[in-house]
């Protein structure tokens, strides 16, 4: 479906992916700084202008990008983006994730008002909901689940594009929700709750070692906060896990397509390779790889060596020769492009089945619809 037939590694056909009505969710993932936010916004815009009713859930857009999409204020609901071409009948809404707010809403939606208040005011909850490694990933999934349910019931959207948090590893997005929910109903938490309501026989020797050590490390007050929090949240544990499992299943469904984003750099491509392998292991539907910010190809096939030799000849006569400068720039460009090409080929050799598309590096940051459009075009027009 998404791979055009041609010799060599398969090409990711972005337009076919976006036009396919069977595509309901696109998740852009990859390691930090590679352009996930940019790519997800560019894909969403292109889909909208090709006739889809799209919402894009961004996590951490650059300030100016957020401004130009009209989502700089965080209110956790999608807003229409202005400037989108409606000719094909599509539309684009966008929102920026407010992690804490989303967490608060889950609590409010699940617990009685008094209980919710008790939880929301607990210092440990405040810390957890704003700084637990993984909360952002969990809440991104939670929000995705919400948007998807809404889209199903009232038909506002037929495509959801999701950006993922700037984790150090792309895998965090898949692992973090599990970590948070298994933390929340894990053994330690159970033990901590036990004394507050439980049979004394649970106070085993093991437990007292544990609580006294925790008390020493964290201090008694904090331990009490944790216990109050856990007790208050107790009724919610089951639903936390259930919700995480549901969203996970949604990610495995046929209507979902993962787009792995990488920069043409060894680390980013290594991360991308891990992620691709993991998606395959977990039966997650992989659409392909986007190599973002590829250096522009050279415009002439003069080799780097020939250019350097010629530049040296000219500099021997005139140390400030402008032509020598031109040749040196060309050599540098050829080397970088060759290196990127080599890295991409290495990825393709180990993952021959993964379709890929390259997005050119723009001269400057991408912070408006025009820039996003240019990336979309660059992605769709693979030579």
Ligand X SMILES: Nc1ncnc2c1ncn2[C@@H]1O[C@H](COP(=O)(O)OP(=O)(O)OP(=O)(O)O)[C@@H](O)[C@H]1O
Ligand Y SMILES: Nc1ncnc2c1ncn2[C@@H]1O[C@H](COP(=O)(O)OP(=O)(O)O)[C@@H](O)[C@H]1O
166 binds ligand Y (CB under 6 A): yes
The Cα–Cα gap between 136 and 304 comes to 45
| Segment lying near ligand X (by CB under 6 A), choices 9-17, 97-105, 208-216, 264-272 | 264-272
User: Using CB under 8 A, which of the segments 142-150, 183-191, 243-251, 371-379 binds other proteins?
Assistant: 183-191
Give residue for tokens 């309501």. Answer: 197
Asked if 39 is part of the footprint of Mg ion (rule: CB under 5 A), the reply reads: no
Structure tokens at 342: 């080599």
Which CB atom, from 73 or from 364, has the smaller least distance to ligand Y?
A: 364
Those residues with Cβ within 8 angstroms of residue 182's Cβ, 6 or more apart along the chain or in another chain: 241
Q: Considering just the CA atoms, what is the radius of gyration of the chain in Å?
A: 25
Binding residue for ligand Y (CB under 6 A) from 9, 35, 177, 264?
A: 35
Is there binding between residue 359 and ligand Y (CB under 6 A)? yes
Q: Report, in Å, the least distance between residue 160 CB and ligand Y.
A: 17
Site membership for ligand X, residue 266 (CB under 6 A) = yes
Query: Residues near 382 by Cβ (< 8 Å), separated by ≥ 6?
Result: 11, 12, 357, 358
320 forms part of the interface with other proteins (CB under 8 A): yes
Which of Mg ion, ligand X, other proteins, none interacts with 37 (beta carbon under 5 to 8 A by kind)? Answer: Mg ion
- Alpha-carbon distance 27 to 98, whole Å? 18
**CA torsion angle for 164, 170, 176, 178 (degrees, to 10)?**
110
CB-CB contact of 264 with 160 (8 Å)? no
CB 167 to ligand X: min, Å: 10
Least distance CB 219 / ligand X (angstroms): 32
Write the CB contacts of 55 (distance below 8 Å, at least 6 apart in sequence).
Answer: 44, 78, 92, 93, 94, 95, 147, 151, 156, 157, 159, 160, 161
Q: Which stretch binds other proteins (CB under 8 A): 40-48, 114-122, 292-300, 368-376?
A: 292-300
Assess 319 for contact with other proteins (CB under 8 A).
no
Q: Does 60 bind Mg ion (CB under 5 A)?
A: yes
Residue closest to Mg ion, measured at CB: 37
- Spacing of C-alpha 297 from chain mean position: 28
Burial call 337-348: b when 16+ CB within 10 Å, e when fewer: beebeebbeebb
**Site for ligand X, rule CB under 6 A:** 32, 265-267
Residues that bind other proteins (CB under 8 A): 32-34, 62-64, 123, 127-128, 131-133, 166, 168, 179, 183, 186-188, 191, 206-207, 209-210, 213-214, 216-219, 221-222, 263, 266-268, 296, 298-300, 302, 306, 309-311, 313-314, 317, 320-330, 332-333, 335-336, 339, 363-365, 367
């Amino acid at each position: 479906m998404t791979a055009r037939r041609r010799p060599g590694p398969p090409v990711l056909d972005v337009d076919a992916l976006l036009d396919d009505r069977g595509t309901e969710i696109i998740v852009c993932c990859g390691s930090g700084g590679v352009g996930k936010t940019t790519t997800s916004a560019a894909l969403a815009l292109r889909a909208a202008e090709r006739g889809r009713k799209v919402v894009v859930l961004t996590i951490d857009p650059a300030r100016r990008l957020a401004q130009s999409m009209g989502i700089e204020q965080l209110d956790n609901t999608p807003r229409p983006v202005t400037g989108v071409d409606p000719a094909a009948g599509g539309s684009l809404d966008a929102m920026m994730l407010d992690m804490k707010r989303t967490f608060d809403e889950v609590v409010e939606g699940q617990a009685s008002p008094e209980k919710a208040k008790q939880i929301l005011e607990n210092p440990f909850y405040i810390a957890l909901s704003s700084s637990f490694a993984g909360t952002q990933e969990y809440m991104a999934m939670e929000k995705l689940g919400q948007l998807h349910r809404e889209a199903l019931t009232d038909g506002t959207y037929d495509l959801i594009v999701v950006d993922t948090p700037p984790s150090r590893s792309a895998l965090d997005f898949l692992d973090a929700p599990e970590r948070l929910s298994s933390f929340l109903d894990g053994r330690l938490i159970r033990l901590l709750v036990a004394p507050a309501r439980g049979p004394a026989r649970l106070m085993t020797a093991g437990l007292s070692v544990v609580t006294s050590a925790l008390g020493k490390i964290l201090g008694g007050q904090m331990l009490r906060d944790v216990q109050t929090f856990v007790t208050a949240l107790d009724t919610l544990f089951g639903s936390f896990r259930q919700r995480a499992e549901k969203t996970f299943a949604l990610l495995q469904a046929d209507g979902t397509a993962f787009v792995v984003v990488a920069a043409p750099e060894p680390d980013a491509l290594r991360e991308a390779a891990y992620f691709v392998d993991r998606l395959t292991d977990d039966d997650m539907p992989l659409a392909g790889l986007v190599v973002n910010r590829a250096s522009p190809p050279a415009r002439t096939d003069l080799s780097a060596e020939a250019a350097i030799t010629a530049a040296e000849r000219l500099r021997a006569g005139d140390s400030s020769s402008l032509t020598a400068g031109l040749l040196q720039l060309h050599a540098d460009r050829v080397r970088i492009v060759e290196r990127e090409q080599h890295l991409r080929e290495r990825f393709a050799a180990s993952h021959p089945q993964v379709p890929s598309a390259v997005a050119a590096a723009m001269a400057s940051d991408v912070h408006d619809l025009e820039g996003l459009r240019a990336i979309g075009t660059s992605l769709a027009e693979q030579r």
